């Protein structure tokens, strides 16, 4: 009898193969009090476990084949760097000394603090970094408990198998990719986790968030996973298997054709050049960017320079981080978004003060920057100095009023004056833009456009704020609708403001990376898309098959339609 379960599609492709169950689980931790004479040895035991974890990750990094993109190692390097950070190395040791508790318990205390900090974050991408904290801390805990903490590839060949696990780390994924696994399924995880990003970069079909997968699927039984729909099928008959094998061959051919577009310009059939750029955060994201042939970076998140650390990155560290990306882009433009964090706890895991009840409506993004001008100016200085190394744009997040924009631009001018006084080189014409991600900003876009060089529509927040829903809340996320008439009108309003002011308007939310909306957005006048690199080639294919002259009238018809089902039907017709 066939069994169908579903999860979150994170890496496209069809995989057919036998199940390999990976049962590790999370180590159970208990507290016990130490004698005073045992504290020193317990601290040493903890430090030894951290060192062993680091050595283990380095050994996996060394197994990466030479023909694999070099930046793949950066996924593992990010975890190695976490093991060097004082938040995981010094703080737990301090807890052992202060509370006279065992290393496992001290690490659990710090784990809970860090997880609480990440859970407060409004940015989905940053909140997903919880996975990295969990992965690294679980590795240390397993070493402390002398448990198995890696995939035992030598004991049982994994070639052609589908891994089923509670969760996988980037190190697991790299190690299994060298063993030519067919795909993987996890019970935990999300589309923005580093493991999911790595799966997409390496072309491994994957489905995550499949609840109870390890109990539902049996060792060695043949299953099918559809990385495009998030479906997992067990017990399929021969006819169904043949059907999926045919789909598998067709999808491989389609991906081959998409890869052939990497170095082809995105241009409509009536000759309009469209800019397709990538959203990134860390250096490892450059793997997928190169594979996609992106025209540059339309959104570079900088929050990693501030979170999960005792002190935010200083000007020199920020400058080095920005220059590293600029060098990798080799002359392509880099759009750097200034700090976009919310509640205090996001910024400092040790913060003990009261937290805002609703971080989405509290002190976040540009509001935070204008509250801490020195911190804001320091980042602006670093970005400006980086502009001397290559094309850079500054993007201000969540601007809601003209007063905020004027104040932010004033601080930018102060930063420029300081750099001139100190004789630092920078591009005096560095473009400055603002995120349009709340209704107030869209309604004021014509005002902002007069003082800016570009606008960028952040559809994730714009939809959330317009419809008053949290898209990660299972009870209301069905209301999250990019095609809602109000959302489309705000997008159109922003695009028209840009055209009137003769400045470019980009879109950097998930809507820009969804092929269902590409033709509609082209018809409304969007000419700059920025999304995850894995989406760009499919978007490019649609662009290159489209004529703007054939899209404008249907797009206006959709814009003037108010019935949701009718809008969906018209979009389907537009997509042919």
Which of 194, 402, 446, 484 does the annotation list as catalytic? 194
> Please, what is the Cα angle at 569 between 564 and 572, to 5 degrees?
125
Q: What is the DSSP string of 360-426?
A: GGSS-THHHHHHSHHHHHHHHHHHHHHTTSS-EEEEE----SHHHHHHHHHHHHHHHHHHHHTT---
Which own/partner pairs from 238-243 qualify as long-range (CB within 8 Å, at least 24 positions apart)?
240/2, 241/16
Q: Scanning the structure block, which residue is given the tokens 């790299």?
A: 174
- 3-state DSSP call for residue 449? coil
d(CA 551, CA 525): 10
How far apart (Å, rounded) are the C-alpha atoms in residues 445 and 493?
A: 8
Q: 403: left (phi > 0), else alpha (psi -120 to 50), else beta? A: alpha
Sole residue written with tokens 């060695």: 220
The number of C-alpha atoms within 13 Å of 138 and in the hemisphere containing its C-beta is 19
Please name the residue that has the structure tokens 């995120």: 435
Catalytic residue status for 508: yes
Q: Is 532 a catalytic residue?
A: no
* Phi (first) and psi of residue 68, to 5 degrees: -80, 140
Strand order in the sheet with 3-6: 3-6, 231-234, 222-226, 14-22, 162-165, 183-186, 206-208, 8-11
For the chain, first and last CA: distance in Å?
36
User: 492: burial class by Cβ within 10 Å (0-12, 13-18, 19+)?
Assistant: middle
Three-class SS state of 350: coil
Residues 230 and 571: their CA atoms lie apart, in Å, by 23
Measure the CA–CA gap between 111 and 133, rounded to whole angstroms. Answer: 8
Cβ atoms < 10 Å from Cβ of 576 = 7
Of residues 372, 302, 306, the one with CA closest to residue 335: 302
Per annotation, catalytic residue among 20, 101, 135, 508: 508
Q: What angle do CA 11, 12, 13 make, to 5 degrees?
A: 125
With contact defined as beta carbons under 8 Å apart, do 315 and 382 qualify? yes
434 DSSP β-pair partners:
396, 455
Question: Rounded to an integer, what distance in angstroms lies between the CA atom of residue 549 and that of residue 571?
Answer: 16
Token pair recorded at residue 263? 């170095």
The answer to whether the CB of 551 falls within 8 A of the CB of 564 is no
- Residues β-bridged to residue 396: 434
Token pair 């030479």 is at which residue? Answer: 66
Residue pair 522/274 in contact by the 8 Å Cβ criterion: yes
Give CA–CA dist 107/137, Å, rounded.
Answer: 7
CB 524 within 8 A of CB 534: no
In the block, residue with structure tokens 């924009």: 405
Specify which residues 33 forms β-bridges with: 101
Question: Which amino acids are annotated catalytic?
Answer: 194, 508
């Amino acid at each position: 009898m066939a069994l169908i379960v579903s999860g979150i599609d994170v890496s496209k492709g069809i995989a057919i193969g036998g199940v390999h169950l990976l049962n590790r689980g999370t180590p159970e931790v208990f507290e016990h009090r130490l004698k005073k004479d045992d504290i020193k040895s317990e601290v040493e035991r903890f430090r030894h476990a951290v060192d062993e974890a680091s050595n283990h990750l380095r050994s996996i990094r060394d197994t990466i084949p030479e023909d694999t993109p070099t930046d793949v190692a950066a996924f593992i390097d990010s975890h190695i760097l976490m093991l060097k950070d004082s938040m995981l190395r010094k703080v737990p040791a301090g807890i052992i000394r202060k509370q006279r508790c065992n290393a496992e318990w001290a690490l659990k205390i710090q784990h809970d603090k860090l997880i609480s900090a990440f859970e407060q974050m409004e940015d989905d991408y940053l909140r997903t970094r919880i996975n990295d904290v969990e992965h690294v801390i679980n590795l240390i805990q397993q070493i402390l408990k002398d448990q198995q903490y890696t995939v035992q590839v030598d004991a049982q060949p994994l070639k052609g198998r589908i891994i089923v696990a509670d969760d996988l780390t980037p190190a697991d994924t790299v190690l299994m990719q060298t063993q030519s696994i067919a795909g993987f399924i996890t019970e935990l995880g999300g589309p923005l986790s580093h493991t999911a990003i790595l799966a997409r970069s390496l072309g491994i079909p994957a489905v995550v968030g499949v609840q109870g997968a390890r109990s539902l699927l049996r060792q060695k039984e043949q299953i099918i996973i559809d990385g495009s729909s998030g479906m997992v099928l067990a017990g399929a008959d021969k006819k169904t298997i043949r059907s999926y094998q045919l789909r598998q061959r067709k999808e491989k051919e389609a991906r081959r054709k998409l890869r052939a577009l990497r170095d082809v310009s995105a241009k409509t059939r009536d000759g309009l050049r469209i800019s397709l750029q990538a959203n990134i955060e860390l250096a490892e994201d450059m793997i997928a960017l190169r594979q996609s042939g992106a025209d540059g970076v339309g959104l570079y998140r900088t929050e990693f320079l501030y979170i999960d650390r005792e002190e935010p990155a200083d000007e020199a560290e920020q400058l080095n981080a920005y220059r590293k990306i600029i060098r990798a882009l080799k002359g392509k433009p880099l759009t750097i978004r200034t700090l976009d964090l919310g509640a205090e706890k996001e910024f400092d895991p040790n913060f003990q003060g009261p937290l805002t009840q609703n971080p989405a409506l509290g002190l976040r993004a540009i509001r935070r920057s204008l509250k801490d001008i020195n911190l804001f100016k320091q980042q602006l200085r670093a970005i400006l100095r980086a502009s001397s190394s290559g094309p850079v744009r500054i993007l201000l997040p969540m601007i809601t009023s003209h007063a905020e924009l004027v104040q932010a631009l004033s601080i930018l001018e102060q930063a420029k004056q300081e750099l001139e006084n100190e004789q630092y080189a920078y591009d005096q014409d560095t473009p400055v833009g603002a995120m349009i991600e709340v209704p107030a900003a869209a309604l004021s876009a014509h005002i902002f456009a007069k003082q800016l060089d570009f606008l960028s529509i952040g559809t994730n927040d714009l939809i959330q704020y317009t419809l008053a829903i949290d898209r990660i809340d299972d009870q209301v996320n069905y209301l999250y609708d990019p095609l809602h008439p109000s959302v489309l009108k705000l997008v159109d309003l922003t695009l028209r403001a840009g055209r009137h002011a003769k400045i470019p308007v980009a879109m950097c939310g998930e809507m820009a990376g969804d092929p269902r909306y590409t033709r509609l957005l082209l018809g409304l006048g969007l000419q700059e898309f920025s999304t995850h690199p894995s989406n760009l080639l499919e978007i490019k294919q649609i662009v290159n098959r489209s004529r703007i002259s054939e899209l404008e009238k249907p797009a206006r018809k959709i814009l003037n339609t108010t019935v949701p089902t009718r809008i969906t039907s018209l979009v389907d017709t537009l997509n042919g």
